[in-house]
Every structure is written in C-alpha cells, then in structure tokens.
Amino acid sequence: MPDEHIVVEDDQPRPAAQAVEPTPDERHCDPNADVVLVSKDQVHLRAYSHHLKQVSKFFADLFTLPSKLEPINLDFDSFVISIYLDLVIAPTYCYSVIIDQHNHDSETLKQLLQISEYTMSEEITKNVWQVIREMAIAYPQALLNLAHERQDLDLARVAIKCINSDSIDLPHLCGGNECEGRCASYEWAETCSERINDFQRFFRPLDPAYQEEFLQLMLLRSKIKADNPNVEGKKEVMEWNEEDWTWIAERFDPDRSLDEKI
C-alpha cells in the first residue's frame, strides 16, 4: 500500500496557485500612514509608526532599524488588530472604555491580551487584564479556561471566588434518594434532569485536571459541611455560598495532593 504522505508527480499541467489578494481594512486605511500590518486573514491595516512606538516596545525596537518599512505580518485576526490599533491611537484614559466594549466576548479579550503582550504594550496589557478580571463575575468558566491555558493559578482562584448560584447550582433531587417526578408534576422552574445538565454544562468544557480538582475539593467541602453540627439537613449541605467557593479557591491547585490542602 503506498504511503499516504508520498506525493506522486505526473506530467499533467497544474493551474498556477492563485495569490490571495489583500483586503484593505475599512477603519484603519489612512493612505498617508507609513506602516502596513498584515493580519492572518490577509487584511491590510495602516498605522503611523510614531503612534506604535509610543505604546509598544516591540515596534519601538523594530523601527530603530535603518531600513525601509515593509509590511509587517502579524499572526492575529484583523478584527483583533483593529481593536489594538484603536487603543494605540487613543489616550490612556480611554483604554478601559474601548476594551470594556468587548467584555461580553472572552475570546476577543483573550486575543487582545495576546497581541498586547506580543507587542509589549505595557499600558494596554494592564488595562486588558483589568477588564478580564472584572469579567470573572459574569463569565467564571471562560476565565477558568484562560487560566488553564496560561497556567495561571491566581487567575483561576479569582474566577472561582466569583462563582455563585447564577453560574452554577449544586443539583437537588425532588425525592429523597431519586427523582420522583414531582419537579415536573408541580411545574418547577427546572426538573431534576435539567438542573443536573446545567451543573455538568459548567464543568464539561474545563480541562480534565481542573475537573478532577473541583470534584475532590467539592466532595471534601460537602463532607465538612455534613459533619458540622450547626448544619441542619441535606439541603443546607448542598446550598453553596460565597464562603464555600472562597474555601475552594484558597485550596485550588491541581499540582498539589489533597493531603496538602486539608
């Protein structure tokens, strides 16, 4: 059987590869700007070198070279570079306003953080981080994924402390030991199965190491609450509040054994 990675050449003529025509950006397209940035989706964005040098050590170092300014390829999508250039030409006090327009989109904020770090734009990076940390209240799960990607334990703990009943609720069963159908019969807001699905939906996108860490610490915390003489009944054990999630956050570290956290 021929190796699937071997390319067999024949004498048939091949059409010439069509070069992708660059698209000018609709916003950053000043023909007088002396720098052209090329995004990975082949969009040309124009900027002024003196603006870039003011905010970015990467560009400041690059533009000290005594050579003609050629188009600069950046491995980022054009929409992210466009936001970055909005920040480049804005006064510092406007950074948070511009970044905050994207606080509902964790993926955009993640890429904006990456480009600001890549270009060594210190003030922009600082402001992006501020918005990302504030985002934890509404999107703790997205922040946990970012924390794992960056191996940032402090960021993970910030996200965990922001978990509340709006983001996750420990599921209760309508019967003593199983779902008895009362949740559906009495038209409750959610059935047992829906509550369980919501619970699973929060953890499913997380890295397995984070999933395991949550499971261990949540079981331990529940056992501690169940053994507490001041806690009455199963329902109170399952109702978690800020104190419980802070307890989890303070001990959250997938690289340490459970014994070290007790």
Q: Which of 80, 102, 135 is the last residue of a domain?
A: 135
CB atoms within 10 A of CB 146: 22
User: 51 and 128 in one domain?
Assistant: yes
The number of distinct structural domains making up the chain is 2
Task: Check if the beta carbon of residue 231 is closer than 8 Å to that of residue 225.
Answer: yes
Which CATH number is 125's domain given? 3.30.710.10
User: 93 and 186 in one domain?
Assistant: no
Q: Which of 135, 170, 188 is the last residue of a domain?
A: 135
127 belongs to a structural domain = yes
Token readout for 145 is 């994924």
If you search the block for the tokens 């047992």, which residue do you land on?
A: 192
* Centroid of chain to Cα 36: 28
Token readout for 193 is 């199965």
Token readout for 4 is 């699937």
- Residue range of the domain that includes 117: 23-135
For each of the chain's 262 residues, which pLDDT tens digit applies? 444 443 334 455 554 445 556 788 888 989 999 999 999 989 999 999 999 999 999 999 998 877 777 889 999 999 999 999 999 999 999 999 999 999 888 889 999 999 999 999 999 999 999 998 888 888 888 888 888 988 899 999 999 998 876 677 666 665 566 665 666 666 666 776 777 787 788 888 889 999 999 999 988 888 888 887 776 666 677 778 888 899 999 999 998 888 887 7
User: 146 and 62 in one domain?
Assistant: no
Phi, psi of 24 (to 5 degrees): -70, 140
pTM of the model: 0.73
3 belongs to a structural domain = no
53 belongs to a structural domain = yes
Q: Which of 114, 135, 156 is the last residue of a domain?
A: 135
Closest CA to 82 of 107, 57, 108, 117: 108
User: 146 and 96 in one domain?
Assistant: no
d(CA 128, CA 114): 10
